[in-house]
Chain A
Amino acid sequence: TQLLEQSPQFLSIQEGENLTVYCNSSSVFSSLQWYRQEPGEGPVLLVTVVTGGEVKKLKRLTFQFGDARKDSSLHITAAQTGDTGLYLCAGVELMNSGGSNYKLTFGKGTLLTVNP
């Protein structure tokens, strides 16, 4: 099983600040997903990146997949209190050539707190 390291583990900032969190692996993934999890709830998908070098934007959130498909970053511009939550990255490994069997490996997450 491939491992995903997320950093930082904890991040506390003031509203309006910018931030970047990272997701790194020594191995290549077919694609990578970012989820946000709020207390007492399950993770919710934010984005999937597939192509090396791909950049996707979701309002104030910018996601980038590394050229070698081993790492990814999430940048938040002008953070708001509503951005508070646990941000999880998950790498997709294909287990067979047909693509019907796969594994999703999660990092431990970055717990973001945005203070008013």
Chain B
Amino acid sequence: DAGVIQSPRHEVTEMGQEVTLRCKPISGHDYLFWYRQTMMRGLELLIYFNNNVPIDDSGMPEDRFSAKMPNASFSTLKIQPSEPRDSAVYFCASSKHWRDEQYFGPGTRLTVT
């Protein structure tokens, strides 16, 4: 298996623009997670899905952030409008069961100027 795939790997955008991050989980995994990592706050869970259904979005910073999982093999995290404080590395991870290991993608480094 190719592992969790994220795109793009790097994104530089101007404040106010819309940003869409993409994730393809490992086939057969029922759980998908979106995280954000910064030096100040560490690795934070934003939202996670079970069988394509959002279960906990309490980590989503504000209404500018939204996430979708239209099918078992694809998810998006959208920021609209983007702000400089959104600059971070965004990770997607998947797991087969809640008890199991989470497999992380390589991350998307987002810079908002």
Q: Given the known A-B contacts A95-B56, A100-B50, are A42 and B104 also in contact in the complex, defined by CB atoms under 8 Å?
A: yes
Residue B107, interface by CB 8 Å: yes
Query: Would you list which residues of chain B between 83 and 113 have a CB under 8 Å from chain A?
Result: 91, 93, 98-99, 101-102, 104-107
The interface bits of chain A over 68-90 (1 if a CB of B lies within 8 angstroms of the residue's CB, else 0) are: 00000000000000000000100
Contact A104 B102, beta carbon cutoff 8 Å? yes
Q: State the interface size on chain B (CB cutoff 8 A).
A: 21
> Across the interface, do B98 and A45 meet the contact criterion of CB distance under 8 Å?
no
Taking CB atoms, residues of chain B closer than 8 Å to A104 are 33, 45, 102
Judged by a CB distance under 8 angstroms, whether B43 is at the interface is yes
Q: Contacts A42-B106, A44-B104: A102 and B42 contacting too (C-beta < 8 A)?
A: no
B98 to chain A: which residues have CB within 8 Å?
92, 99-102
Of A42, A44, A48, A103, the residue contacting B45 (CB under 8 A) is A103
| A52 in contact (CB, < 8 A) | no
**Are B50 and A41 touching (Cβ within 8 A)?**
no
- Is B55 an interface residue, CB under 8 A from the partner? yes
Tell me the interface secondary structure of chain B in the complex.
strand
B50 touches A43 (CB 8 A): no
Cα of A109 to Cα of B37 in the assembled complex, Å: 11
Cβ distance A108 to chain B, nearest Cβ, rounded Å: 4
Which of chain B's residues have a CB closer than 8 A to the CB of A107? Answer: 42
Q: Which of B4, B55, B101 contacts A45 (CB 8 A)?
A: B101
Quick check: is A51 within 8 A (CB to CB) of the other chain?
no
Return chain B residues, CB-CB under 8 Å to A42.
4, 91, 93, 104-107
Residue of A42, A95, A101, A105 with most chain B CB atoms under a 10 A cut-off: A42
Judge if A116 is at the interface, Cβ distance under 8 Å: no
Closest CB in chain B relative to A9 CB, distance in Å: 10
Q: Please give, as numbers and ranges, the residues of chain B lying within 8 Å of A100 by CB-CB distance.
A: 50, 98
